[in-house]
Amino acid sequence: MQYRTLGRTGVQVSTLALGAMNFGAIGRTTQDEATALVDAALEAGINVIDTADMYGAGESEAMVGKAIAGRRDDLVLATKAALPMGDERNHRGGSRRWLVTELDNSLRRLGVDHVDLYQIHRWDPDTSDEETLSALTDLQRAGKIRYFGSSTYPAYRIVQAQWAAREHHLSRYVTEQPSYSLLQRGIEAHVLPVAEEYGLGVLVWSPLASGWLSGAVRAGRDVSTHRASFLPQRFDTAIPANRARLEAVEKLVKVADEAGLTLIQLALGFVTAHPAVTCALIGPRTLDHLHTQLAAADTVLTADVLDAVDAIVAPGTDLAPDEKFDTPPALLDPALRRRR
């Protein structure tokens, strides 16, 4: 396992991190299975576990808490908040009212007195940066969080938040958690350069593109990824974006074969090769999944392999642009780009 410094914090983290979204109902993972995954990940040298309040409506956090009991100080524990936790209109977002309440809920579920990294799961357009950063700064000073970061923020919102922190003399986001893979490279154009400029640690999610890069989606075969059961549109090859992904996957498999790598090694080695990326979040459901992904822990891609990847999926290109989560609201809502 390799280790890198998380932004400018001085904290050393493994280049592969364990994502816990599949713990519980989402991944149909039992407590015993989750604990076994944590055991194996820590044994392999992974020292980062990332979860969120809304994964299984708190179930993932509770399972992580049980799995790490007695060894909390051996790992960097990260969670997130801001996405809806039920139907109550104020049980979401980046307001002080909600973040103060929900952090206590997360700490209770995790069975700890602090988290190392608390992340705002999505930018909340209804809440000012000053409001959110002020609450996070106070929670940090209270010792409940060590650092805080953003997740899936557009580049311009990362910049705005950095400015707001300086303008109002508040602590700043020290990490960003974006989606990044061989098939979704859009963040190379804006988010990753901004992260480098501000010295942010970058923890990328979905480096295997929801199963597209795990070997579960191949031409002429039935789709075997768990995600297809509840997100079938993402794997319907009648959709042009999915056809483009399938064509790219088949070409990438050949690149991996010629380099003596598995597709998973190619995919994880690719994202961790970018100088702005600190670590890649893997989200295994089974020990077999985990072991195939751990095989990429020391993968270093040569320049000719990276050049071959660039020839298949151009730098800065998203093959499935409709699946991006950092699109500015005005691109989605016509009323926001028309003068009234």
Contacts of 117 by beta carbon, 8 Å cutoff, 6+ apart: 6, 50, 76, 77, 78, 79, 145, 146, 147, 148, 149, 175
Rg for the chain, CA atoms, rounded: 19
| H/E run at residue 231 | none
Pairing assessment for the beta strands 3-5 and 12-14 based on DSSP bridges? antiparallel
CB 217 within 8 A of CB 225: yes
What whole-number distance in Å separates Cα of residue 164 and Cα of residue 131? 10
Choice among 55, 118, 153, 173 that is catalytic: 55
Query: Catalytic: 55?
Result: yes
The answer to whether 200 touches 158, Cβ cutoff 8 Å, is yes
User: Who contacts 171 (Cβ-Cβ below 8 Å, separation ≥6)?
Assistant: 133, 136, 137, 140, 148, 165
Cα separation of 3 and 6, whole Å?
9
**Partners of residue 202 on adjacent β-strands:** 176
Strands 115-120 and 76-81 come out as: parallel
Query: Distance between terminal CA atoms of the chain?
Result: 56
Instruction: Please count the other Cβ atoms lying within 10 Å of the Cβ belonging to residue 154.
Output: 21
- The residues annotated with a catalytic role in the active site are 55
